[in-house]
Amino acid sequence: MTGQLIINGERIGASDGGTFEVFDPSTGDLLATVAKATKADIDRAVDTAHAAFEGKAWAGIVPAERGRIMQRIAQALRDQTEELATLESRDNGKPLRQARTDVQVAARYFEFFAGIADKIMGHTIPLGPGYLDFTIREPIGVSAHIVPWNYPIQIGARGVAPALAAGCAVVLKPSSEAPMTALRLGEIALACGLPPGILNVVPGTGSEAGVALASHPRINQLTFTGSVDVGIRVAQMAAQNVVPVVMELGGKSPNIVFADADLDLAAQGVATAIFQNAGQTCSAGSRLLVERKAHGALVDRLAARAKSMRVGPGVSDPDMGPIISSRQRETIERYVAVGKEEGARVVAGGSRPTDAGLSKGFYYQPTLLDGVSPGMRVAQEEIFGPVLAIIEFEDVEEAAALANKSQYGLVAGVWTRDINKALSLASRIKAGQVYVNTYGDGGGGHASCHVLQFSGHRSS
């Protein structure tokens, strides 16, 4: 399998002929050889997008027609769900049913924002007799998007769809670890009638293509999803050109379970929140705060779930797939070792699977670390893997304090039958989203407005 850059509607190689290899994390086998965008390629993509924008091939058409083309893209994504889900699963290892959901969510973003395309309205401002004052909302220009490897098609669509609906031209840089569905999205958009140059897809490394795009003086807006450290550098580069940035960064999100909760329901929600996509999710519920008198019962339920989960190749649709790479698995292993050194106890997982059939892939067992104290590194730092740090609390006051004892502020969950307690605690938790007796809403257009507003990082 090969992948090429998409610039000005053409599939082309890198300017220097360079390529990189993409591996299936389920097997370690080569999946594709992909053109590796250089700084010159980024320059060309941005210039092409700028020319297409100025040429009014997209921003100048009737907004309702933009919406119709985006509806066609949404339908094409749905029609090709199995192909795209299989490609996504092979590209980053997630179970097939999770990949199918990602494709459906991507389609929903295009569908949702297609409906907004002809409803972007301005205002009149009353200044008194003899004056007519009004505002017009116009597309900002070239919108750049740097997309991570954990949800390539879903996060790609989440940023690209609203930019297209507004009439912008787009340059999309997917991660070099999982670029395949972003490239297919570019091909699908062209087939559905998107004018050449309006969506350019330039896979490459962060150190070259990412830096070139984030620091480019001709982009007008930048969206980035990734780690806090990289996000800070991206924001600094964009600031040199006074380019506005929308970011979603890391998380160490708490799931807070009270003794009066439905513990079976809570165990299911907590397990899904940390083990979905092998914990490789910025909003993963990676901290469990559990009321002391419910600790044993809940941990027993979670341990049983973790030990019974089937780990295997993504395309076999297991309960949990592999880690994205050998390097990321090693990072997870180091964190678990640090947790044990600091006094945490492994009550499930804590190592690679012993199944010889999985030896070539990058697998790690669903892991529970109990006896974690709030100051431990495993309680404070984002591991980005299937590792749950379990911390006990005594009452609502301590739960609120522990939830906020973090540099992050992305998502939180509260599990209790007492709605007054839930709402009171939710108002005190410093997080962009707080769920009650559930965790996560599956993405889609209904979530996009608030998801994109929060960086997931705050000063402690």
**Residues annotated as part of the active site:** 248, 282
Residues 6+ apart with CB under 8 A from 17: none
- The DSSP string of 59-114 is TTS-HHHHHHHHHHHHHHHHHTHHHHHHHHHHHH---HHHHHHHHHHHHHHHHHHH
Cα(401)–Cα(374) distance, integer angstroms: 10
343-358: b or e for each residue (b if 16 or more CB lie within 10 Å)? ebebbbbbebbeeeeb
What is the phi/psi pair of residue 254, to 5°?
Answer: -95, 140
CA 251 to chain centre: 11
Q: Is 312 helix (H, G, I), strand (E, B) or coil?
A: coil
- The DSSP string of 185-226 is HHHHHHHTTPPTTSEEE----IIIIIHHHHT-TT-SEEEEES
Cα(361)–Cα(144) distance, integer angstroms: 33
Q: In sequence order, what are the beta bridge partners of 169?
A: 142
| 34 CB-contact burial (10 Å; exposed 0-12 / middle 13-18 / buried 19+) | buried
The first and second tokens of residue 297, run together, are: 């019962």
The first and second tokens of residue 289, run together, are: 């705060």
Number of neighbours of residue 299 by Cβ within 10 angstroms: 20
Cα(428)–Cα(419) distance, integer angstroms: 14
Give the single-character DSSP code of 134: B
